[in-house]
Structure 1
């Protein structure tokens, strides 16, 4: 099981619960607060993970290259229909395009230079 799977299920359940409440009610405010709390937990967990990854990179690698990828072009599929699919379309594995769009990897690249400033060997 993926580590974020339980959080995603909790968030989905809380959002469904929120959508079933009446606007302006106390129950809706409680449900909205619960959804916000779950979003906060997910954000904190992601930030903690990225902090650890960038720290390991900064302390364990001599050189780090961060590539600026064009995610729109990278995850786009060739146009076509079911009968005539586009050219050069390859079946991608599960999660190959979805993992590119997960929030956080950009902030990992952004936080790495600040950690690398004091670790340069020259």
Structure 2
């Protein structure tokens, strides 16, 4: 398993092992689990509440705004971790510090804008 194709062989073997473990676990689960359907088990289950009425419900738009804000903060976290690793390298300290403060400034402006528009209130 040396050479160029040896690396691919190792990856292929690991993929095969992963698929065998996955299929084996599902097969063992299917063989060992009891299957006793009943009317109560076949009901739709939604967060511990029995379904009442139709399946249609309107969702308020503000929940999408919270989702977008979460995505913004998640992207911030994704950029903070590589910055923290590069910050310690010699010659990058001041440059990366300034770049991160510019980045955090843009994020702070976005949060300030959202706060001024009333997006961050729960009511």
- The interval holding the TM-score normalised by the smaller chain is 0.3 to 0.5
Select the structure with the greater relative contact order (CA < 8 A; seq sep ≥ 6): 1
Higher helix share: 2
TM-score by length of structure 1 reads: 0.33
Q: TM-score, normalised by structure 2?
A: 0.33
